[in-house]
Amino acid sequence: MPEGDTIYRSAVTLHAALAGHQVTGFRTVLAHLSRVDDDRPVAGRTVEGVASRGKHILMTFSGDLILRTHMRMHGSWHLYRPGERWKGPARDMRIVIATARFEAVAFRVPVAEFRTAAALARDEAVQSLGPDLLDPAMDVAEALRRLRALGDTPLSEALLNQRALAGIGNVFKSEICFEARLAPTTPVGALDDPTLGRVVEIARRQLRANAPDARAAALSAWRGGRRTTGRANPAEGLWVYGRAGAPCRRCATPIAVTPQGPDTRLTYYCPACQTGSQGAAD
């Protein structure tokens, strides 16, 4: 599933390509979007902006119309020049938004709906989200309050709870626990306030390091690869995720992996480095 950094980069790229331009064509295979387009045509409107909210992308059009999409496991937005051949198969197309300069194509997007601003303000899927880790104005105190309310929930599962913190997925979940030197099974309630605050700060730093500034990103593709270690070698970009059996980059102990949570999602960790319930500085 795309995580907050990936969604942010997609929104930044879509915004740079489409914002301020008139829609010249709209197509969709989704009947509920077609019905809205029949009554309130998208073509002729101006794209006012594209932004991310957690794992949601919000595309705002003139005339009080907002397209909300969520990628789930396999969805993605692509950008093409007019007439350029798509890299995704036509059978996977769900939405096409065309301007004179670009064509934005949503492939295999399972969640897509039009909302007015007022309806979006009441939309449970968006309004229930916790503080967005990529929002410069993120309310850290609220994030800590929501995490603390999860009580006995294991830390790794709490980090995936979008109602507590918006943007973390399976990769960052494992990486954050490792950098904080906390066992992923540690109950949130066992962490003191300074330690839980450090977890949130690590989460913010890791996601922000993988989401380039909007001005720098412009229309360029992100080719740096996800990285949490700070190391220049792309092969050493992650601490633990996907490295089961490989030596820990800190202590050489083999990285372990275990399924967790109701969806049995895999969590990677170092049995030697991640033993306590209190954070430790490097």
As beta bridge partners, residue 70 has 56, 111
What pLDDT, on a 0 to 100 scale, did the predictor assign at position 232?
80
Question: Are the C-beta atoms of residues 80 and 86 closer than 8 Å to each other?
Answer: yes
CATH 3.20.190.10 domain residues, the chain? 4-127
Residue at 252: amino acid letter:
A
- Gap between the Cα atoms of 27 and 162, Å rounded: 31
Task: Report whether pLDDT(24) > 70.
Answer: yes
What pLDDT, on a 0 to 100 scale, did the predictor assign at position 227?
87
- Gap between the Cα atoms of 195 and 172, Å rounded: 17
Q: Does domain 4-127 have CATH number 3.20.190.10?
A: yes
- Fold of domain 140-269: Helicase, Ruva Protein; domain 3 (1.10.8)
What pLDDT, on a 0 to 100 scale, did the predictor assign at position 4?
83
Q: Return the active site residues.
A: 2-3, 55
pLDDT, tens digit, for every residue of 169-222?
Answer: 999 999 999 999 999 999 999 999 999 999 999 999 999 888 865 444 444 444
CATH 1.10.8.50 domain residues, the chain? 140-269
What pLDDT, on a 0 to 100 scale, did the predictor assign at position 71?
87
Residue at 222: amino acid letter:
W
Question: Closest by alpha carbon to 49, among 18, 22, 10?
Answer: 18
Task: Report whether pLDDT(35) > 80.
Answer: yes
**Global confidence as pTM:** 0.83
What pLDDT, on a 0 to 100 scale, did the predictor assign at position 263?
80
Question: Closest by alpha carbon to 208, among 2, 1, 4?
Answer: 4
